[in-house]
Amino acid sequence: MDITVKNIPEPIYRVMKREAKRKRRSLNSEIILALETEAAEAERRRQLTNLRKELDRFAASLPPVDDSAPLIRADRER
């Protein structure tokens, strides 16, 4: 798939070009790698959000826990 990106700010272009050269890649390859990295990170954030919601639902389903201080105190007194 081909896309065209217009109006890339000059500082971003320079950084991407410099990094591509440093890593001995084409500018196109460097941009694809940056997009792949960001897409993977976005997917991890989405999964983390879903896992957090699952954890919150699970925690809400647990029965309330009594204060453990009296049990600890009784155990220490033994």
Could you tell me if residue 19 is inside a domain? yes
Task: Name the domain count of the chain.
Answer: 1
DSSP assignments along 38-62, one per residue: HHHHHHHHHHHHHHHHHHHHHHHHS
Per-residue pLDDT in tens (0 to 9) along the chain, 78 residues: 899 999 999 999 999 999 999 999 999 999 999 999 999 999 999 999 999 999 999 999 998 888 888 889 989 998
Could you tell me if residue 5 is inside a domain? no
The pLDDT value given to residue 1:
87
CB under 8 Å to 10, separation ≥6 — which residues?
none
Could you tell me if residue 25 is inside a domain? yes
The pLDDT value given to residue 50:
97
Range of the domain at 18: 10-62
* Cα–Cα nearest to 19, from 45, 1, 6, 37: 37
The pLDDT value given to residue 14:
97
Could you tell me if residue 71 is inside a domain? no
Q: Sign (positive/negative) of CA torsion 8, 12, 18, 23?
A: negative
Q: pTM here?
A: 0.67
